[in-house]
Every structure is written in C-alpha cells, then in structure tokens.
Amino acid sequence: LLTVREVAERLKVNRNKVYELIKHGYLPALDLGGLKISDAAIDSFILKYSGHSFKNIDAVTQLQLA
C-alpha cells in the first residue's frame, strides 16, 4: 500500500490532485489512520482513464488532440 504522497509522486501530480481523485471516486483508497492506495488501484486507474483529462475534476473529458 502507498501513501497519498507516494501516489502523487508516482503519478507526477500534487497531493491535492490525489485527494480529489479519491474524493470523486476515481481512485479507491483505504483509511487506516491515513489514506492508503494499492498498487492495483493505481494500475487500474491508469488503464481505465488513459486518454482522459482530469484538469477539471468535475468535468473529466476525453483528450482532444489537435
């Protein structure tokens, strides 16, 4: 299991983005006195949402490349 900080480092985002992903249900976590995320959850997230933009967490969209 990884901490939010470790997940942020792995995904190359800040910790707030990881908290948003968890809060909005995109990334499942366990609360064990601190949020923990499994490697499997991260891998699943990457596979499922590759090609999506999470710039606006309230309006996740497919990437539109010009």
Give residue-wise pLDDT tens across range 2-12. 999 999 999 99
What tens digit of pLDDT does each residue of 15-30 get? 999 999 999 999 999 9
Q: What is the dihedral of CA 20, 25, 28, 34, to 10 degrees?
A: 40
The pTM assigned to this predicted structure is 0.90
